[in-house]
Chains A and B, each alone.
Chain A
């Protein structure tokens, strides 16, 4: 090869990846361009170091502290702490400094540990050896030393160290196989092609002598001698080389500029509704705090206006205090009051909430019911911030394929020229014993028909992207049914596998792709070889179907099968060459490449001859119907968003009980809009819906009662975009509102032919509608990622389409059916738990601080604390922290089984029911009442009398200790009253923390602590306990404090019971746990038991089916059209454009 030739390559900018590709010029092997070329400006690129860590050893402390104090709460506590340090405040800085220090340290340690893990991973990645070509020789270097322009050699099963342009491979045809399992989970092999001009360089010396320049970016490099590069020439970092001995490539993006690194960029953080209400409550409390401090400051100065009060003879100020400016004094007093009352917003609440979320999320991952035996996958929790949001879902947006259905394709039948062939139960390569051969509905085809038939089968057999794996080492081996040759089909499209396997049942076995020849075994056991043409595309074609096939296709579509028509065209040599040229020209076009390709295909796909149609079934996921029914009963609106065509999708919806028999379907499809204007259709629909709902408002709450008319809406992508499109006159919201109105009245909505972005758009539309409902999106494929990210809660189904969705989701579950337990049980529990946690925290701190406030009226507004410093510090940290934390982890107000059995209970917590203002005010008032009881109870006890039998007198610290003791007991017992699920842990923690309080107090007061400069608590607690009236008072005050709450609970339960309370009353007696699933198990399809275990051996599926349909500009209805696919170059990392659909047989 001519090593000195200068090769100019251009790499176009892909749409939608602007942030990735900038414009750059790369000199392969660092060879500068020959003199005479334009000015050579060396560009600087980052080295190949991957840095996912946030901190370094040096900047950890300052940066981490900065990050932490950026959070408002931490900052607030820091301010309080600083105020305490600077001015003379009633409490020592320790009281707020210690908890703050604790919180900051724990968080810092956690983040530091995480960062250390990242450093370790980074180092492992940066130091692994890479083979370079330097001056024609092979050199080993560390990965991080790789630079842009270096030529790299990668051997089989190695991971690409950076983004490479594929120069050559040792395979003759200049291809290599790549799996992106670690990028997106797709374990299928994808074929990449070496750059045409360099694929001949096979040795290190050859490659070392290469002179080439790569231009990349949008800089309109229109020079004609540039060889265009496409995504098929690009090998991404993180992907692994397979089935190829070695390849050479030149690094074009390194380090943090690789696509993988760019994809690290974190998603925006989601906040739960509970957190929002918590923040609202916090603001209220902040206002209370400020107003308390203000009131006290004002009162202080009013009270002090008489000098004998400000400075009586027995209590003189120091000279410096006297001389201080009045305003400064007032401001200092205000701050001191703030500090005194600041415990009303406790540091520990944040810690507890975080711990609750973090620890609580483990119950999801531990849940055995959500573990899938077949795949060995359990649920994943990617964020613990949204646990409680699972209990608040109002809308579920679900993908169909792979989520509702198994994405486990089964070749059902094919129909050729009026004959229907039904291979007996084939399920992904396994045959049930009793079935064999073909069941022909209409036998004895004519000779002509037989030819057609074979052509049809051959077409199916050849036109696909299926690869054959000879060994069984692929994840989840699947043997071909013939048993003889143990070959396994892998493809990115499960449809194709199903087709190839189906054809195999009908007598044609695809063997392998060998040296550009495709081999297949025909019915006579002859091996046929066909030239493999690298012409692959898929299109959606409009054609007229013959009567029979049309009827069949329609029927199949209605049954929910995925239909496909096969047609052919005979090409002679010249025609073929012409086509090749045309395509090549289009492929290398620098501008409008896609458009030109489309035009070329348009030209080729004319005058096709229809052979027949196939039908592939995508099974419903196990218990999908049961799950959807339960979710609907729970008051959640389920929307199905799919790329499939309407009939298929609607059939699935019926099958999974989204639509029932009595559901009245409203259609908002392109077809209808073509007939009437959008305006008319919308108004008509809304009239239908509203007329009904208007008359039914009375029993709205009864939900899905039998006589209520059920509406289901079907809308397609095109119609949706019409609705979403802003109109010229600017009144865009008009249609949207109307549309939302209709949607609200429908119990189920089906959106078909949706683009991924449209899915997100719909989610967004609902999310920002005026009720701001909580949305949940569930999907399994890369095309669902946008909506998963958009929805409040994104759930990924760990499916066969790779882990894209699971990785981007907040929670990942193995199967759709697990959604039921996730929402109805876990979501419900988490919501109950965290709402109690939040309310209780505010309650107990009102109890804590309000007596202090009251005490100011009796101590001359001097900011004297009621409680000792130790009590102030430890109240939230240790005396009352564990019971509520454990409550918020363990509480089950109703059994798990009841929640699963009765989905309607979910409605009881809908719309943030337990954190409404009414509830919040109740808790706050309860706290105020209790605080009044504690304070004035102790006040009347102590007022001007003695309470000991030896006549001795107690002081102010005993007073505070009495209040505090009553408070700790009341607050803990209040939680005990709220606990419905007393495990030994709850007993241990509740009684344990009371015991701890007593023991601590005894100890704290029992010793003269040498490190303290005051001994005010010495023997105070013990002296208090030696007085009988103190005991009586504790019992009395605790009783009075708890009485109203008990009364309220009992009365509400008796007079206005919620559904939950009714069930609680009903199931007070023990119930049988074992029977829980039997009634449901019988509901599922009888076929399920006999199906083979669905091995996930092709873990990916191309976008072919789901993405294909929506691209259509021409909307197709089944009678005159056939389902097919349209050419689509996906921008997903798979970079594959698989699958010819319309066959070319030469």
Chain B
């Protein structure tokens, strides 16, 4: 912490040839700043000033909390676990790797109809997408269409960087472990044959990701040509340029891929899979009734005690079903209100006692 003004000291400690006291007046400036007298607002947190704030917080937070809570409760959500670890589950057969491709069907019933747009998620548990080794195992330059990075991926992608002397595109553990179950939804009406529900693939990824952050490598019209010299990730069945038939949703800009590449914060997460758009105001998007979920079971999670879910959810302005925020708002509002009351009492008592104390002093 040595910050002495030694230099100054020593310089005038030994004046050179010309001696003599330089008796200059060092009168300081009389500015408000230098005299520490800048005009200032001097608030003090006393019970008196804080009391109204507590009440105001209470009065604002409780209604907000109630609003959020009600909104959250109005959201319809259904979760179907299709991991298949229970022997009774239709997907149990798919646990063994021998059955390929394995398709299983799970039936479920919606008690109430889902109004408005419905969002279809897949959820994974115990899947550490936020593991450091996993999070950094990607090459954003490659995904952004950089041709040099395409052929020479970043070292961070190890050990998913090269395969059989060819660079992997997309490289890295994240891309390699992309979720590859296929989910299909059917409404089993009164008719004998199930009606497929239209699942929209587009609009599930962030707009900026799809249009800016992720880009296919430059080149001609043929996507395969652009990925020339690369090989598919080890675990993938098909190369990246056959992810979808729609050229706008193929290669690196495939939305399923983009969604997967946004690593989740927690080991239990869900990712948007498909949109079910509302057709008309008159009919609910998903009327109450029996449905069946067709799963092409490719993605093994039982090796690491993981679970797989399919979630159908409606959305409000504040997102999916989440009672936490509403409850927290109500709780904080009430606590704050209560504290306000307590403080009021204390303040009242104290004022009396302090007055008497002042007199005795």
The chain B residue with its CB closest to the CB of A272 is: B1
CB distance from A835 to the nearest CB of B (A): 15
Contacts of A864 in B (CB 8 A): 130-132, 135
Contact residues in A for B304 (Cβ distance below 8 Å):
308-309, 312-313
| Per-position binary interface string of chain B over residues 5-24, scored 1 when its CB falls under 8 Å from any chain A CB and 0 otherwise | 11101111111110111010
Q: B177, B265, B328: which contacts A959 (Cβ < 8 A)?
A: B265
B205 interface contact, C-beta 8 A? yes
Does B151 sit within 8 A of A, measured CB to CB? no
How near does chain A come to B309, taking the closest CB pair, in angstroms? 9
Residues on B with C-beta less than 8 A from A1047 are 339
B284: CB under 8 A from chain A? no
Residues of A within 8 A of B270 (CB): 944-946, 953
Q: How far is the CA of A1065 from the CA of B350 in the complex (A)?
A: 13
Asked if B186 is at the interface of the complex by the 8 Å CB criterion, the answer is no
Q: Is the CB of B40 within 8 A of A983?
A: yes
Please tell me if the beta carbons of A1032 and B68 are within 8 angstroms of each other in the complex. Answer: yes
Q: Does B334 contact A (CB under 8 A)?
A: no
Does the CB pair A371–B329 fall under 8 Å? no
Complex formed: what's the CA distance from A186 to B313 in Å?
90
Contact assessment for B159 and A949 in the assembled complex, using a CB-CB cutoff below 8 Å: no
B100: CB under 8 A from chain A? no
* Stretch among A205-213, A352-360, A714-722, A1087-1095 lining the B interface: A352-360
Beyond A860-B128, A949-B316, A956-B264, is A1039–B57 a contact (Cβ under 8 Å)?
yes
Given contacts A859-B128, A1028-B317, 20 further A-B contacts (CB under 8 A): A128-B16, A275-B1, A309-B304, A315-B128, A367-B35, A377-B26, A384-B5, A862-B130, A864-B132, A941-B325, A945-B321, A946-B319, A952-B205, A954-B265, A956-B266, A1014-B138, A1014-B140, A1019-B206, A1036-B325, A1054-B46
- Residues 290-306 of chain B: 1 if any A CB is under 8 Å from the residue's CB, otherwise 0? 00000000001001110
Pair A313/B266 contact, Cβ less than 8 Å: no
B303 neighbours in A (Cβ, 8 Å): 308, 312-313
The complex places the Cα of A986 from the Cα of B43 at a distance, in Å, of 13
B3 contacts A315, CB within 8 Å? no
In the bound complex, do residue A1053 and residue B159 qualify as a contact, i.e. CB atoms below 8 Å apart?
Answer: no
Asked if B322 contacts A951 (CB within 8 A), the reply is: no
- CB-CB under 8 A from B263, the residues of chain A are 955-956
Residues on A with C-beta less than 8 A from B14 are: 50, 52, 121, 125, 182, 237-238, 260-261
* Residue A602 at the chain B interface, CB threshold 8 Å: no
A contact residues around B359 at 8 Å (CB): none
Q: Which residues of A contact B150 (CB under 8 A)?
A: none
Task: Spot the interface stretch: A23-31, A623-631, A974-982.
Answer: A974-982
A727 at the B interface (CB under 8 A): no
Q: Are A943 and B44 neighbours in the complex by a CB distance under 8 Å?
A: no
Instruction: Say yes or no: B16 contacts A1013, CB within 8 Å.
Output: no
Mask, A376-395, CB within 8 Å of B = 1, is 11100111110000000000
A529 at the interface (CB under 8 A from B): no
A59 CB, nearest partner CB in chain B, Å: 18
Taking the closest CB of chain B, its distance from the CB of A244, in whole angstroms, is 15
Q: How far is the CB of B34 from chain A (nearest CB, A)?
A: 4
The answer for the CA separation of A315 and B14 in the assembled complex, in Å, is 70
Residues of B within 8 A of A382 (CB): 4-5, 9
For B317, list chain A residues within 8 Å (CB): 949, 1028
| A951 and B315 in contact, given A377-B26, A1018-B212 (Cβ under 8 angstroms) | yes
Option from B23, B212, B318 in Cβ contact (under 8 Å) with A1029: B318
**4 A-B pairs with the lowest CB-CB distances in the bound complex, closest first:** A314-B177, A959-B265, A128-B17, A114-B7
| 8 Å CB interface, A1033-1056 against B | 1033, 1036, 1039-1040, 1043, 1046-1047, 1049-1051, 1053-1055
Cβ of A1053 and Cβ of B47 under 8 Å apart?
Answer: yes
| CB pair B141 A1013 closer than 8 Å | yes
Q: Is the CB of B26 within 8 A of A943?
A: no
User: Does any Cβ of A come within 8 Å of B154's Cβ?
Assistant: yes
**With A and B bound together, what is the CA distance between A452 and B183 in angstroms?**
128
Q: Does A105 contact B (CB under 8 A)?
A: no
- A181 partner residues in chain B, CB cutoff 8 A: 19-21
**Are A859 and B131 interface neighbours, CB within 8 A?**
yes
Residue A475 at the B interface, CB < 8 A?
A: yes
Of all chain B residues, the one with the shortest Cβ separation from A895 is B42
**Is A729's CB within 8 Å of the partner chain B?**
no
Segment at the interface with B among A263-271, A767-775, A901-909: A263-271
**Chain A residues within 8 Å of B35, by CB:** 366-368
What would be 28 A-B contacts, judged by CB atoms less than 8 Å apart? A50-B14, A118-B7, A124-B17, A260-B13, A314-B177, A350-B1, A354-B3, A363-B36, A366-B29, A367-B35, A368-B30, A376-B27, A383-B4, A862-B133, A890-B36, A945-B270, A946-B272, A950-B315, A951-B119, A952-B205, A953-B262, A956-B264, A984-B38, A1014-B138, A1018-B212, A1032-B318, A1032-B325, A1039-B336
B193 to chain A, nearest CB (A): 30
Q: Determine, out of A192-200, A215-223, A316-324, A579-587, the stretch whose residues face the partner at the interface.
A: A316-324
Residue A939 lies at the interface, judged by CB distance under 8 Å to chain B: yes
B25 close to A (CB within 8 Å): yes
Closest chain A CB from B3 CB (angstroms): 5
B275 at the interface (CB under 8 A from A): yes
Q: Binary interface profile of B, 110-129, with partner A (CB < 8 Å = 1, else 0)?
A: 00000001010101000111
Measured CB to CB, the closest approach of chain A to B265, in angstroms, equals: 3
Residues of B within 8 A of A986 (CB): 40
Chain A residues with CB under 8 A of B346: 1051, 1054-1055
Instruction: For A1015, give the chain B residue with the smallest CB separation.
Output: B140
Question: How far, in whole Å, are A354 and B1 apart by their CA atoms in the complex?
Answer: 7
Query: Is A1016's CB within 8 Å of the partner chain B?
Result: yes
Chain B residue at smallest Cβ distance from A1099: B21
Which among B30, B45, B133, B134 is the interface contact of A977 at CB below 8 angstroms?
B45
Please report whether the interface of chain B is mostly helix, strand, loop or mixed according to DSSP. loop
A865 to B135, CA, bound (A): 10
Taking A315-B131, A941-B325, A1039-B57 as contacts, is the C-beta distance between A1013 and B140 under 8 angstroms?
yes
Name the A residues within 8 Å of B156 (CB-CB).
1013
Contact between B319 and A1027 (Cβ–Cβ < 8 Å)? yes
Q: How many residues of A contact B (CB 8 A)?
A: 131
A52, A358, A384: the one within 8 Å of B10 (CB): A52
Q: Provide the bound-state CA to CA distance between A52 and B156, in Å.
A: 53
Tell me if B308 is interfacial: C-beta within 8 Å of chain A: no
Chain A CB count within 10 A is highest, among B1, B208, B267, for B1
Interface status of B87 (Cβ within 8 A of chain A): no
Identify which of A275, A940, A1050, A1064 gathers the most chain B CB atoms within 10 Å of its CB: A1050
Bound Cα distance A303, B13 (Å)? 66
Contacts of B139 in A (CB 8 A): 1013
* B286 at interface by CB-CB < 8 Å: no
User: Could you tell me which residues of chain B, from 150 to 196, have a CB within 8 Å of some CB in chain A?
Assistant: 154, 156, 158-160, 173, 176-177
Q: A943-B266, A956-B129, A1054-B47 are in contact. Are A1029 and B17 (CB under 8 A)?
A: no
Measured CB to CB, the closest approach of chain B to A647, in angstroms, equals 38
- Chain A proximity of B307: nearest CB distance (Å): 11
B1 touches A1029 (CB 8 A): no
Does B324 touch A at the CB level, under 8 Å? yes
> How far does the Cβ of B66 sit from chain A's closest Cβ, in whole Å?
13
A956 adjacent to B135 (CB under 8 Å)? yes
A949 and B319 contacting across the interface, CB-CB below 8 Å: yes
A985 CA to B38 CA in the complex, in Å? Answer: 9
Q: Which one of B13, B36, B133 contacts A892 once the chains associate, using CB atoms below 8 Å?
A: B36
- Determine whether A571 belongs to the interface, using a CB cutoff of 8 Å to chain B: no
Report the Cα distance A960→B263, complex, angstroms.
12
What's the nearest-Cβ distance from chain B to residue A865, in Å? 8
> At the interface, yes or no: A159 with Cβ under 8 Å from chain B?
yes
B144 sits at the interface (CB 8 A) = yes
CB within 8 A of B269: which of A354, A944, A1049, A1053? A944
The residue of chain B having its C-beta at the shortest distance from the C-beta of A1027 within the complex is B319
Asked whether, in the complex, the Cβ of B132 is within 8 Å of the Cβ of A1015, the reply is no
Which residues of B (197-213) have their CB < 8 Å from a CB of A? 203-206, 208-209, 212-213
| Residue A365 lies at the interface, judged by CB distance under 8 Å to chain B | yes
Which residue on A lies nearest to B306, using beta carbons?
A: A312
